[in-house]
Chains A and B, each alone.
Chain A
């Protein structure tokens, strides 16, 4: 079920261009981008679906670096309290260059669990958990394959592959040159929030239209992805327990495709509200807004903000038992293949609304705060819900115009929006 093709082909007035024809819009693969972006001329109106150096945000080691740097800057400028708002990322060390720093931290916290992740692979590949330094000694010596299971079988990748966030330069090709991939060692969150005894993470969609100034939209829908098995710390070798990507779950012997292990965010939000009350839920979602905004701010000055570029990110968030959200990673090419009918609906609507915001048809005025399921979250500053200046809540979090996990009556909103835009056009012509 390829949602992208369906949405693009069904869009009125859009024609698919084959091969080297002239194009106005390209939903491209990151590998194409790297090879061709620098020597492709694009007219003013042309749009492309990635930023040239998006990996500053989406490759785990760069993201950590940028976030650390941003945090230091915040501390200098605004103090420790403000900088503490960036503590949504578990302690991470780049390997092998920060190995010694990692060992220091490791020794300070004996007995905790760490997770080793390759910087540039997706779908749960190459990830393993460990508690003892000797578990990674072998890896360090170059035997990266020690704990990697059959998940490592490299699939044949086609170039026009919108799903999966892989940077083809790193894994396959590099395997011949350098025996040890770049990894990050990250503190494993040992007290995840469980529902029905299962661990889950949240997938949230953020659309960035530009970095300078920073304009970001948050999609109301998303989903919680459940691990198929019950959470326990006693079996850290069991990939299936700890990793919640659908791709990993699909290979678990317990996996039944009919089950689908996802909850829409609305359902998740309701569940939390009935358990913890609406205020706690408001706080949690406000903390998540903070994650989105701060993470984007941290790479704002680094990313080449080309006016032709926009990007739809898939944020992976983990909630712990204290209802604190943690950022796991940001995906530049979130999977657009649908695992169920409901998933298909979500992704097609997401893509349709993305195209509405990109606005190739030049219908919007640029002052809209909501387009379909997207709410304008940041417009070079916080966007308030009501008309008027943005107000800051007592906690100092931005009270933004976000409605994650809320009712998404996008069809109705789009109808009203386009009708009024049409009316405005008629009036002015």
Chain B
């Protein structure tokens, strides 16, 4: 375990992992450099005795609150990084252990990049250019109302849409698992044809035990008919206590039962281990300066996406300006590159003009390595409900992305990866609603074709905002995206009667077009715990 190397590590602390991931302005709660000064100051005090130094330091940590912050930081690292694997495993294995998945992701990336480059050439727009001073000034003035800008975006197309990605996943094959072209009893009936291990309902019941019928939930037990004394009041009280203790792990456990509206913003920040330090705000301001100074091609893609999706949404249109402020900065944030260590994807490389192929002139493009696709801005929109300070909103989104959202559009075998989610969804449906599944398949309405877009967007824009936030509470609480697949299956189960009567894909889409009236927690509870299997 490395220390940050800034000061001599005091004796007795070698076992603690300090600042493994602490670039300047990181979202870790420990500002780099500060701990050494505090420690040195208290080491100078006369009552410090060499014999009891170790205990004294531990005591100091506890009193000053640093112990809690350290615990939170360590917990955060544990949540994000995968558990240590075989010591001889190469770094690609951290990204993705299965070779065929890595290859598929690689060729998908090549396709995306080709599409981006061809758009670039077609429109003769550079991938990046420095803005003239006049333009910089104008943008700075308009920073808080970029939504009023109406640039001509008609020639821009989104680089890809979820349904393009679905086609790639459908064609995914494990070369070691030969089904042959003819259908056999081993062929999957759904669209996904790779044999990954997914949980079945008994395993899901165990995993999501806190969602059970006998445990209080927000989203169910806070409805108007239920007197608040039964559950809600106590739950709020515990939430306030958790916040007072500033304990990430406790918060994560607590939020499995849902978060009270008033506490949610703080709880999420605690779980994601985000505290707005001055250097975080400074970092955001630096990103903003980068946006002002340079114009990227992806900016137009972002504009287009926001205009097409969030701006047209009945509720998120209000936050249009925040979306630009977050997403434009996000594209330029090189600290995001860190997450590619455990993401099966790799950031696209671009070369300075005329130096194609020369590694010294390679840069990542966009600087954060993430190319937005159609609907990307919907990851940010719900967060605008909770956070209003741009740099805090930015940090929360960035952390949500590098913990969760990236898995929804990269090909991997991770249990929370989109491939596993699709397979989990299809398997649940086949196993527990076989008649419905068969019927839909027969009429050419493979269920995944409808539910895919819900899962890729983590249901953002499909559910009512309050329901969406209750769902995302559980994503944070269980540190897993599997709940998206379970919810998708639960929605089909809920509308099964209507779906049995449709005779075409279009009609099935129509039955499932409007999810805005659904109550997420009762659906999940019934599907997991109250369905007779």
Contacts and interface: CB of A to CB of B under 8 A. Distances in A.
B385 A196 contact: no
27 contacts: A196-B320, A197-B145, A229-B148, A230-B144, A230-B145, A230-B147, A230-B321, A258-B312, A259-B311, A260-B314, A260-B317, A263-B315, A267-B315, A270-B261, A270-B465, A270-B466, A273-B261, A274-B261, A274-B265, A274-B385, A277-B262, A278-B261, A278-B262, A340-B314, A406-B224, A407-B223, A409-B224
A14 interface: no
Nearest to A340: B314
Contacts of B265: 274
B130 to A, nearest CB: 28
B388 interface: yes
A230 B148 contact: yes
A27 interface: no
A46 B336 CA distance: 70
A273 B262 contact: yes
Contacts, number: 57
A35 interface: no
A169 B62 CA distance: 77
A275 B264 CA distance: 10
Contacts of B321: 196-197, 230
Interface of B: 144-145, 147-148, 223-224, 261-262, 264-265, 311-312, 314-315, 317-322, 384-386, 388, 465-466
Contacts of B388: 275
Contact of B386 (A198, A256, A274): A274
Contact of A263 (B144, B318, B384): B318
B264 A198 contact: no
Nearest to B319: A196
Contacts of B465: 267, 270
A152 interface: no
Interface string A284-295: 000000000000
B148 A259 contact: no
Contacts of B315: 263, 267
Contacts of B314: 260, 262-263, 340, 342
B322 A196 contact: yes
Interface in A187-214: 195-198
A21 to B, nearest CB: 41
A310 interface: no
A198 B24 CA distance: 35
A267 B384 CA distance: 13
A340 B313 CA distance: 13
In the complex, the 5 A-B pairs of residues with the closest C-beta atoms, listed nearest first: A196-B318, A230-B145, A277-B262, A274-B261, A196-B319
Nearest to B386: A274
Which of B145, B264, B319, B384 has the most chain A CB within a 10 Å cutoff? B145
A198 B466 CA distance: 22
A254 B148 contact: yes
Contacts of A262: 314
B318 A195 contact: yes
A240 to B, nearest CB: 11
A261 interface: yes
Contacts of A254: 148
B384 A196 contact: yes
B144 A197 contact: yes
A226 interface: yes
A187 B431 CA distance: 66
A418 interface: no
A340 B317 CA distance: 15
Contacts of B322: 196
A261 B317 contact: yes
Contacts of B145: 197, 229-230
B458 to A, nearest CB: 19
Interface in A250-283: 254, 256, 258-263, 267, 270-271, 273-275, 277-278
Contacts of B320: 196
Which of A197, A273, A406 has the most chain B CB within a 10 Å cutoff? A197
A259 B317 contact: yes
Contacts of A258: 312
Interface in A223-265: 226, 229-230, 254, 256, 258-263
A409 B519 CA distance: 14
Contacts of B318: 195-196, 198, 226, 263
Which of B147, B317, B320 has the most chain A CB within a 10 Å cutoff? B317
Contacts of B144: 197, 230
A331 B148 CA distance: 31
Given A196-B320, A274-B264, A274-B385, 5 more contacts: A196-B319, A196-B384, A256-B311, A260-B314, A409-B224
A407 B311 CA distance: 26
Contacts of A278: 261-262
A346 to B, nearest CB: 12
A163 B296 CA distance: 48
A274 B262 contact: yes
Interface string A373-408: 000000000000000000000000000000000110
Contact of A407 (B147, B224, B384, B386): B224
Contacts of B385: 270-271, 274
Contacts of B223: 407
